[in-house]
């Protein structure tokens, strides 16, 4: 892919989904972790290396608000919250795959 096409694709993603490159890293990290089991909110915030815990938590909340992630409670332990991809996450992944 030529550099100008890549730049345009990233601009399109930014405009369509209202996210930036760090948000894409977070979504990718969560999707990769999901392959190995549930992604717990606190584990994610502590283990993500892309930003401080406070920044990671803020960005996670932003992605939840925008519908790209969902925070789901655990049926057996009310203190546990899991992060789940949403239909909008699937739409983003499909969009990126077409680029």
CA 99, CA 90: separation in Å to the nearest integer?
Answer: 15
In a domain, 6, yes or no: no
CATH of residue 78's domain is 1.10.10.10
In a domain, 5, yes or no: no
Yes or no: say if 77 and 84 are a contact pair by the CB < 8 Å rule.
no
Task: Identify the band that residue 98 occupies on the pLDDT scale cut at 50, 70 and 90.
Answer: confident
Taking the CB of residue 19, how many other CB atoms lie within 10 A of it? Answer: 19
Q: 9 CB contacts (<8 Å, ≥6 apart)?
A: 1, 99
Domain assignment of residue 48, given as a range: 14-90
Residue 63 has pLDDT above 70, yes or no: yes
In a domain, 97, yes or no: no
The pTM of the full predicted model, rounded to 2 decimals, is 0.85
In a domain, 4, yes or no: no
Q: What is the pLDDT of residues 74-85, one digit of tens each?
A: 889 999 999 999
In a domain, 19, yes or no: yes
The backbone torsions φ and ψ at residue 39, rounded to the nearest 5 degrees and listed phi first, read -105, 110
How many domains, in total, are found in the chain? 1
């Amino acid at each position: 892919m030529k550099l100008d096409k890549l730049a345009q694709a990233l601009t399109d993603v930014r405009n369509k989904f209202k996210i930036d490159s760090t948000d894409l890293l977070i979504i990718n990290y969560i999707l990769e972790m999901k392959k190995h089991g549930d992604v717990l909110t606190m584990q994610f915030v502590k283990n993500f290396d892309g930003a401080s815990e406070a920044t990671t938590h803020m960005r996670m909340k932003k992605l939840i608000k925008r519908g790209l992630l969902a925070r789901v409670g655990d049926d057996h332990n009310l203190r546990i919250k899991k992060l789940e991809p949403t239909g909008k996450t699937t739409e983003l992944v499909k969009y990126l795959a077409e680029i």
